Amino acid sequence: MIDKEILATIDVDEAVPGKTRDALRAAHLYYMQDLTMDAIAHELHTSRSSVSRLLSHARASGLVEISIHSPLDLPSRIEHEILERFEVQAHVIPVPDHASDVDRLDRVALSAARILGRFIDSNLTVGLAWGSTMGAMSRHLVPKATHNSEIVQLNGAGNLRTTGIVYASELLRRFGDAFGARVQQFPVPAFFDDPATKQAFWRERSTQRLLDLQGRLDLALFGIGSPFAEVPSHVYQGGYLERADYEGLSRDGAVGDVATVFYRADGSTDGIALNERATGPDFATLRRAPRRICVVSGRAKLAGLRGALAAGLITDLIVDEGTARALVESPAD
Amino acid sequence: MIDKEILATIDVDEAVPGKTRDALRAAHLYYMQDLTMDAIAHELHTSRSSVSRLLSHARASGLVEISIHSPLDLPSRIEHEILERFEVQAHVIPVPDHASDVDRLDRVALSAARILGRFIDSNLTVGLAWGSTMGAMSRHLVPKATHNSEIVQLNGAGNLRTTGIVYASELLRRFGDAFGARVQQFPVPAFFDDPATKQAFWRERSTQRLLDLQGRLDLALFGIGSPFAEVPSHVYQGGYLERADYEGLSRDGAVGDVATVFYRADGSTDGIALNERATGPDFATLRRAPRRICVVSGRAKLAGLRGALAAGLITDLIVDEGTARALVESPAD
DNA sequence: TCCCACTCTGCACATATGTTCACGCGGCTT
DNA sequence: AAGCCGCGTGAACATATGTGCAGAGTGGGA
């Protein structure tokens, strides 16, 4: 029995490289030598269909990397302006203005997932927020082999699974798989009902360990929550917050949240009652991460984005074109 | 009249970015967001055909870069073995064994041209040999913007233009255009008839200037000449060498040449008479370049390649699979 | 040992992409 | 002003690529 299992394991370990080798060779022939798939099929003694599939595999598994370089003398005006005004490196994703919010999110997430590979590397501790944006990204990650990296969940989440929102554990797993990283779950709700419970929980040693990791991030990755957006298709729908909570947020002047921590337009968080029950790291902690990537899509999140910029939470911004334009067209900082 | 010319120039300079911007956007949409060309055409308010052309342009002009990464745990056995035995970083190009020599050369040259971008950078002085291999490469270069680089011709060449061999000046120009580099021609024949003429020429100040540059290369790029190969479709066909020259080479034990300088199987060059009349740099000079890339295709060049390796001329080798295999299968160093 | 579940293959079809061609629009010359 | 390039366009066609499907092979479990 044990032998069988070992054999099976070996079998897989041997079989995969075989496929990978073929995929690699097919990729060379296709992308470097411009052969047609038909010709490659002939060289590999297989069918054209299989070559098509091999190439898909090669792309999906990161064997083939496609990158786009703007000529340095033509660096998108918008990205440049964002850098000037906010000291943030922007990646603007072209999306037509008439696209629906869902399309927009998907397209930004797809591009973001592909850009992400540039930031992830070995020996990194990566903090990951939980939300619809991260969920969408998780579906499109391009694998990249790293060693000794770790993905740390930044904020809690329930187990609901509404449209487009993925279990936190599933989300973590996808990121972990894609980068060969260990995964640190944070099994708490998004918001505690009672601040005292949170306090108590925070004193647990297992929680301490996680908080400690959160304090030593190399990279943080998060979206922006906008509680008052027209289409609040996120955490706020899941029944996490009640009418009274919204009213409280409104009264406190909150314009958005990062990993369940809310802030005002000027980036301040003090005195926002709900934060006492939130599970994400406070901003001082978050800002310790040297690189902090924010993915935003949709004008509805503009106010939230402005606040996060004011709070100095962001070092790299991935954003759709319309929102970027709106950001830059505002009167002043 | 002058005004018109200036206007025309400005016109071009303005027009090209417009196209480049579109190409860039199309590339984003296609390669990052996986839109179909049809959809892109719609977003760009143009026809699908034009999008197809824009994307071709984006690829050909280096806006889009496609690279292939072997998983680090699976680095082609052959490349690894070459690194072990010859201390040379190899790039093995897969080519089926039954391919004709012409195919093989083309495919190696195509791949080599695409790999070359990784080596070329700003502020480099690049030495370039002249021959059929370099000619084939010159047809497939992917542009890359650099500043303050310089391409220096390593060896002279006549003006003939046999099949597949390009004027030296044309070849230089293509490399120069592709990388935005200045070009230093070396207007001499491949071989002088009389060593004394060479000596005299070498004392000219203009020649001195060029030799000086050759002594300070950052990068050298060359193929291998094999005078006794079955298909000597190179310099040797152009009437540069006479029967007596071949006999002399044979007597002296030459197995190949790099930039018109001949060497024996052990890499030595001393006492090979023809070298007195050759125009390329001696090997001590060539070896001063910290990086020396050699492009080889075809088993016929195997002996020549071995000699060049023995002479320590090569730091990076781009070679077709069959030849690489033959190289490694030899009994010992 | 047999059978099920799984994966992989190649065929045939549906799409997507590349290329040819005829046309129309400036810009330049005469 | 007329006429002649040279370039860029989109329609139509020719190829190349992606995918659903049914069958073959394989390993694991009863």
Question: Nearest nucleotide to A47 by CA–C1' distance?
Answer: C10
pLDDT, tens only, A8-36: 333 333 445 677 888 999 999 999 999 99
Q: Which of residues 10-39 of B touch strand C (CB under 7 A)?
A: 11, 30, 36-38
**Could you state, in chain order, the average pLDDT of each consecutive group of 10 residues for chain B (333 residues)?**
34 54 91 92 90 92 90 79 94 89 91 94 95 90 92 80 62 91 88 89 91 95 83 53 78 92 94 92 96 95 95 96 90 53
Q: Are residues B78 and B168 in the same domain?
A: yes
As a rounded value in angstroms, the CA-to-C1' distance for A135 and D15 is 39
Q: Report which residue is nearest nucleotide D19 when distances run from CA to C1'.
A: A49
Q: Are residues B207 and B144 in the same domain?
A: yes
Number of domains forming the structure of chain B: 2
In this structure, which long-range contacts are made by residues A19-23, counting pairs with CB atoms below 8 Å and at least 24 apart in sequence?
A: A19/A54, A19/A57, A20/A61, A20/A63, A20/B71, A20/B74, A21/B74, A22/A46, A22/A54, A23/A54, A23/A55, A23/A57, A23/A58, A23/A61, A23/A63
Q: Which of residues 125-184 of A touch strand D (CB under 7 A)?
A: none
Q: What is the CA radius of gyration of chain A?
A: 22
Decide if B20 touches A, using CB distance below 8 A. Answer: yes
Q: Are residues A49 and A101 in the same domain?
A: no
Q: Are residues A62 and A77 in the same domain?
A: no
Q: Are residues B45 and B107 in the same domain?
A: no
Residue type, A193: D
**Cβ contact, residue pair A93, B33, below 8 Å:** yes
Decide if B13 touches A, using CB distance below 8 A. Answer: no
**What is the chain B residue with the closest CA to A113?**
B32
Nearest alpha-carbon partner for A295 in A261, A324, A267, A268:
A324
pLDDT, tens only, A87-139: 999 999 999 888 888 889 999 999 999 999 999 999 999 999 998 899 899 98
CATH number at residue B60: 1.10.10.60
Mutate to test the interface with A, among B29, B68, B140 (most CBs of A within 10 A): B68
The token pair that represents A16 in the structure block: 């995969």
Protein CB footprint (7 Å) on chain D nucleotides: 8-12, 15-20, 27-29
- Rounded Cα distance between B331 and B325, Å, is 12
Q: Are residues B85 and B201 in the same domain?
A: yes
Q: Are residues B146 and B287 in the same domain?
A: yes
Q: Are residues A134 and A16 in the same domain?
A: no
**What is the chain A residue with the closest CA to B114?**
A32
Q: Which domain holds residue B57?
A: 2-67
Q: What is the pLDDT of residue A231?
A: 52
Residue B95 φ/ψ region, left for φ over 0, alpha for ψ in the -120 to 50 degree band, beta for the rest? beta
For strand C, is any atom closer than 7 Å to the CB of A47? yes
Q: Compute the Cα dihedral for B78, B81, B82, B83 and give only its sign.
A: positive
For strand D, is any atom closer than 7 Å to the CB of A49? yes
The token pair that represents A188 in the structure block: 């708490």
- Rounded Cα distance between A8 and A10, Å, is 5
pLDDT, tens only, A290-328: 999 999 999 999 999 999 999 999 999 999 999 999 999
Is B21 exposed, middle or buried (CB count within 10 Å of its CB: 0-12, 13-18, 19+)? Answer: middle
Q: Are residues A231 and A217 in the same domain?
A: yes
| Residue after which a domain boundary falls, among A67, A89, A114 | A67
Q: Are residues A96 and A174 in the same domain?
A: yes
As a rounded value in angstroms, the CA-to-C1' distance for B37 and D10 is 14
Asked whether the whole model's pTM tops 0.75, one would answer yes
Q: Are residues A261 and A319 in the same domain?
A: yes
CATH number at residue A216: 3.40.50.1360
Quickly count: other Cβ atoms within 10 Å of residue A150's Cβ.
19
The token pair that represents B260 in the structure block: 């018109």
Q: Are B190 and B157 in contact (CB under 8 A)?
A: yes
Q: Are residues B120 and B140 in the same domain?
A: yes
